[in-house]
Structure 1
Amino acid sequence: MLPSLFVAHGAPLLAIENNEYTKFLEQIGKKWVRPKAVVLFSAHWESHTQKVSKVDKYETIYDFGGFPEALYRIKYPAKGDYSVTKEIEECFLSQGISYDVDTKRGLDHGAWVVLKLIYPKADIPVISMSVNPNLTPTEKYQIGKSLLDLRKQDILIIASGGTVHNLGALKMGRAEETTDQWALEFDLWLEHHITNWDLGTLFNYNSLAPSAELAVPPYGREHFIPIFYAMGAADNQRNAKLLHRSYRYGNLSHSVWQFGEIQ
């Protein structure tokens, strides 16, 4: 059994950088059991109804602008797996979760930046999944929970986003790598309640967490909420480990959470 993961995808530049965080992500793919497939919820695919991809081979989406040309030359030609898509559909049907199947969309940078660092050969099937910021945290958790049996088949569930993601607060030109106190306070609050699996408090993070309005602004909520899908997928074990945390540009968090155990 594989755990589920919440992985910060940071800025697109991670795909061509060599730093503490990229090195950490590269080690996950080298150390962990090779998954049968990856089911990935991306903050950059928002939809009102849950979307499940059914794609033979993915195009690479460059959903950003103004970055070095090298980024636009990257391809991540992962294939899908119709049998895993069917299993996901069956999970949703059994739990009464509404969904649509998407047969055209490629992988956005919230998906391929993470996947390229962990599995650079693009030789593991991927099933791309949307997120819905308008659902309650409970509903997001339940969607993840409906998929927890996939982990028993060595299917890796990844939720890609960022716990602190406020583009308006980034300090792109700052020379020193100091981290804003408000970002640290929010992440430390989050760490405490995640490790204690305190769902009641976590589901009300917007009113209870320090500096929640800065860490998770309305226009950046889609990056935070994937963590609830990942936690739900480990509801049968309910343990959490913070595997990595670092920051860029003053407050953009690079955190990786593991939910559940490798068995």
Structure 2
Amino acid sequence: MIPSLFIAHGAPLLAIENNEYTQFLNQLGKTMPKPKAVVLFSAHYESMVQKVSDVEEFDTIYDFGGFPEALYRIKYPAKGNQNITGEIKSLLSENGIPFEVDSTRGLDHGAWVVLRMLYPDADIPVISMSVNQRLKPEEHYQIGKSLSALREQDILIVGSGGTVHNLRAVKWEMDGKGTEQWAEDFDQWIEQHMTSWDTEALFNYESLAPNAAVAVPPYGKEHFIPIFYAMGAADDVKQGKLLHRSYRYGNLSHSVWQFG
């Protein structure tokens, strides 16, 4: 059974950079078993109701501004899979989770930056899923759990976001010059409770985790919550493993977690 993943997508510049983190993701895509499809929850796809894509071929969305022209020339023409979309609809219905089908939206950079590093040939079908930061962590977890059966078919479930992702706190001038302690403390707390599968603590991270209000600001929860969708998808195994962690700009974390 294929595991689920949480992958930090960092800043859009990752798409054209060659560094420790991009090299790790490139290698991860080569060493993992090739999935039948990828079901991806992106921090940049927000909706009050769970959205499920039913797209024949995705457009590439450039949901950012002020970056080098090379970023806007990137295309990631992944195809969808109507049968897998149908399975997801059935699983959500069986678990009483309201949803809507979206047949027009392309892939935002939270999706294509990650997918392009894992699978540069865009030869694996993708189902795009929205996130809803107004839900409770346990509700995100339950949505992921409802899809756990897909892993038995070698369908990879990915949450794309970031554990420490506060653009008002990043120190651009600190890139490559160390990491602020508050960010490391938060990530180490997350690691402790992820590896022990302490969902009670994790669901209450806002009041229990050190520096949570800075690491996951009220206006930026959408980047943290994808980890709960990915974690829930491995509820049958309850094993979490940190595969990679590094930092940019003083505190922007690049974490990759494997569940299951």
TM range, smaller chain? over 0.9
Between the aligned partners of 1:19 and 1:186, the Cα distance in structure 2 is 24
Q: Give the count of matched residue pairs.
A: 260
State the partner residue of 1:250. 250
1:1-263 matched pairs, under 5 angstroms:
1-174=1-174, 176-260=176-260
Residue by residue over 1:181-208, the C-alpha shift from the partner in whole angstroms, topping out at 9 and shown as x without a partner, is 0000000000000101000110000000
- C-alpha RMSD of the superposition: 0.6
Between the aligned partners of 1:256 and 1:177, the Cα distance in structure 2 is 21
Between the aligned partners of 2:37 and 2:189, the Cα distance in structure 1 is 33
2:175 and 2:250 in contact (8 A); partners too = no
The aligned amino acid for 2:125 is: P
The aligned amino acid for 2:218 is: P
SS in 1 for 2:157: strand
Between the aligned partners of 1:69 and 1:176, the Cα distance in structure 2 is 24
2:176 and 2:249 in contact (8 A); partners too = no
Judged with a 3 Å threshold, the aligned counterparts in structure 2 of structure 1 residues 74 and 150 are, in CA distance, closer, same or farther, namely: same
User: Identity of counterpart residues, as a percentage?
Assistant: 70
SS in 2 for 1:169: coil
**TM-score when scaled to structure 1?**
0.98
Deviation at 1:174, TM superposition (A): 2.7
Judged with a 3 Å threshold, the aligned counterparts in structure 2 of structure 1 residues 58 and 175 are, in CA distance, closer, same or farther, namely: closer
The aligned amino acid for 2:133 is: P
Residue by residue over 1:30-85, the C-alpha shift from the partner in whole angstroms, topping out at 9 and shown as x without a partner, is 11111000000000000000000000000000000000000000000000000000
Between the aligned partners of 1:18 and 1:11, the Cα distance in structure 2 is 13
Q: Give the ranges of 4+ consecutive aligned residues of structure 1 lying more than 2 Å apart after TM superposition.
A: 173-177
2:175 and 2:248 in contact (8 A); partners too = no
Between the aligned partners of 1:30 and 1:190, the Cα distance in structure 2 is 27
Deviation at 1:173, TM superposition (A): 2.3
2:78 and 2:123 in contact (8 A); partners too = yes
Between the aligned partners of 1:117 and 1:157, the Cα distance in structure 2 is 16
Between the aligned partners of 2:177 and 2:258, the Cα distance in structure 1 is 26
Deviation at 1:175, TM superposition (A): 5.4
2:176 and 2:248 in contact (8 A); partners too = no
Between the aligned partners of 2:189 and 2:29, the Cα distance in structure 1 is 29
Between the aligned partners of 1:85 and 1:93, the Cα distance in structure 2 is 12
Unaligned ranges ≥5, structure 1: none
Residue by residue over 1:199-231, the C-alpha shift from the partner in whole angstroms, topping out at 9 and shown as x without a partner, is 011000000000001100011110001100001
Deviation at 1:176, TM superposition (A): 4.4
**TM-score when scaled to structure 2?**
0.99
2:81 and 2:127 in contact (8 A); partners too = yes
The aligned amino acid for 1:60 is: T
The aligned amino acid for 2:143 is: I
Between the aligned partners of 1:233 and 1:21, the Cα distance in structure 2 is 24
